[in-house]
Structure 1
Amino acid sequence: MKARVNRYVNHVLLGTMLCAGTIDAMADESTSPVSPNTLSPDAWHFTVGGGFLSLPKYPGASDRKFEPLPLLGASHGRYFFGAVPDANTPLGMGAYLYRDAHWQVAALLSYDFIQPRDQSDDARLQGLGDIARTAHAGMFGSYTLDRFTVRGSVLTDILGKHEGTVATLGVEGKVQAADRLTLSAGPGLTWGSSQYSQTFYGVNAGQSARSGLAAYAPDSGIASVNFSVKANYRLSPRWGVGATVVASELRGDVSGSPIVEKKAQVTYGLFSSYLF
């Protein structure tokens, strides 16, 4: 039963690599790692569910959009497919390289479920072109001690779509507020490579000529800091619902981009999932 509850909580709130535009806003939603000896390595486990996000139209936008998000996942022992809550992606596959009562480390391949950016999203983006979906490869891991978890990830574009490399680091504290209600909160940050910064926040000479915006070439560095507050409610041993609010602020070179209208960004999410 404990294993089912932990896995259900893992899948209720699927946070920041939902798309490249929100990677700096969402933090991992995983709970304490489940011992591999508890999860019946020869058995399949499946998750179905869905939810929606309310988020800025693009990183730095002042206007908002809503995005539906399916949660479909499967795991067998150390292997996982579909939604990967520990890495904040709704479409991926990979394997845990190591897991115990405190540590978990995994390798991952993922693909953007939501297109990172479309120039039709906002008038300010006209002339900048779209940012296409791509595949990412990397690793994620966490360490949990009592009610606190430290987690991080590194993912890089492997299809040559110029999305660069992004690394995240966060700390989360968790409390059992009631028998079925779990609350958690904590800070985090996102680092982006120069290629990531240029693609999502830069304006090259051609884009400048087409859009009328000043040319801008941000360097690598801390792209944002964030603070998240989350709630999970267990309706039953298999059903769960959750909500998250993540406030972030763009930092460093990317915050000075001419496409940035608002440095402070807030993302809201509501989700529900069923484990079997």
Structure 2
Amino acid sequence: MRPFPLRARHAAGALLGCAVIAPAAFAQDTAHGDLGVGVVSRPEYIGSNRQRTNLVPVLRVELPTSYAYLGNRYGGNPLQLGFTPLNTGKWIAGVSVSYQNIAPRKTSDGDYLHGLKDIDRSVLGGFLLGYRFRPGGLLSLRSDTDLSGHGQGTTITLAAQQAFPINDHFAIVTGPRIVWGNRQHNTTYFGVDTAKTPETMLPGYHAPAGFQEYSLNIGVRYATEGDWVIGGGISAGKLLANVKDSPVVKETSQVTASVYAGWHF
């Protein structure tokens, strides 16, 4: 039997795309982690009042060094390669590069978006600073910047998570998250420039830099006695003052739910 580690050493399951509890640095001879696929129901875009269902990859792999990883071990997109040159028992600091597996917005998501531009998937460069404040707990601050020139700008995410192992196989992880966007990011996602998009029927809106969304996340993970893991999660968020009044926003409450299955090796 392969027990589920009580201190959530193998990234105790979290909502797809959200931060996961990470282990302390340790030496290892081979890569190990989770590979699989999940189904996520999420708003069609940030601020939409309609849901979209997508298949998404599950990728959380610890490489044969404690200073490199694949997947969303510390949050962000699952299609991610990261390096953490600082990785002690308490502190983590590093950089990453990732690719968005889902396009942030398409004008086909709603008739009222006619005339606005699609927000294409981008390659993002990230910086990470994390602190393990107790067994199974992680406080993280990460930034993600658009490297593809698609106008997505920069976001900064502050998150706290705590894992609660129930037994050798089952664990729950939960915590809050808040996202800040710079002016370029908020303008692309929430702004309406009627001079640049004359076909739109929406009123003009200026979206300054500021906090975008606050959410509470909870995830579960069950490890079988074999080599399989299943899990899922839900995130309930609220758009904040700097963006909630945008005419693009049809619903300020944002809910994302996911289930996944994978192979643990």
TM-score norm. by structure 1 comes to 0.86
The whole-number CA distance in structure 2 between the counterparts of 1:146 and 1:79 is: 21
1:13 counterpart = 2:14: yes
Name the structure with the higher helix share: 1
Once the two structures are superposed, residues 198-222 of structure 1 have per-residue CA deviations (whole angstroms, 9 ceiling, x without a partner) of 0001111245521210011110011
- Look up the match of 1:122: 110
Kindly indicate whether the alpha-carbon contact (under 8 Å) linking 1:8 and 1:274 is maintained by their aligned counterparts in 2.
no
Provide the aligned C-alpha RMSD in A: 2.2
Range moving further from structure 2, 105-114 or 219-228: 105-114
Q: Is the 8 A contact 1:181 1:234 kept in 2?
A: yes
1:28 counterpart = 2:19 = yes
Given the alignment of the two structures, is residue 172 of structure 1 paired with residue 161 of structure 2, yes or no? yes
Q: Show the counterpart of 1:50.
A: 37
Q: Percent identity?
A: 24
Normalised to the residue count of structure 2, the TM-score between the two structures is 0.89
Match of 2:194 among 174, 194, 205: 205
Name the structure 1 match of 2:95.
107
Deviation at 1:14, TM superposition (A): 5.3
Match of 1:183 among 149, 152, 172: 172
Correspondence for 1:269? 258
Q: Is the 8 A contact 1:137 1:156 kept in 2?
A: yes
Aligned match of 1:139: 127
How far residue 28 of structure 1 moved from its aligned partner, in angstroms, is 0.7
Q: 1:58 corresponds to which letter in structure 2?
A: Y
- Tell me which of 220, 223, 241 is aligned to 2:212: 223
**CA separation of 1:213 and 1:264: change in aligned 2, threshold 3 A:** same
CA spacing shift, 1:175–1:87, aligned 2, 3 Å: closer
Deviation at 1:179, TM superposition (A): 3.2
1:32 Cα shift? 4.1
Aligned residues: 260
Aligned equivalents of 1:73, 1:118: Cα separation in 2: 28
Match of 1:65 in 2: 52
* CA distances 1:164-197 after superposition (whole Å, capped 9, x unpaired): 0001011123222233211122211000000000
Gaps of 5+ in 2: none
Q: Distance in 1 between matches of 2:84 and 2:177?
A: 23
Deviation at 1:271, TM superposition (A): 1.4
Output the amino acid matched with 2:111: A
**Deviation at 1:124?**
2.1
Secondary structure of the residue that 2:78 maps to in structure 1?
strand
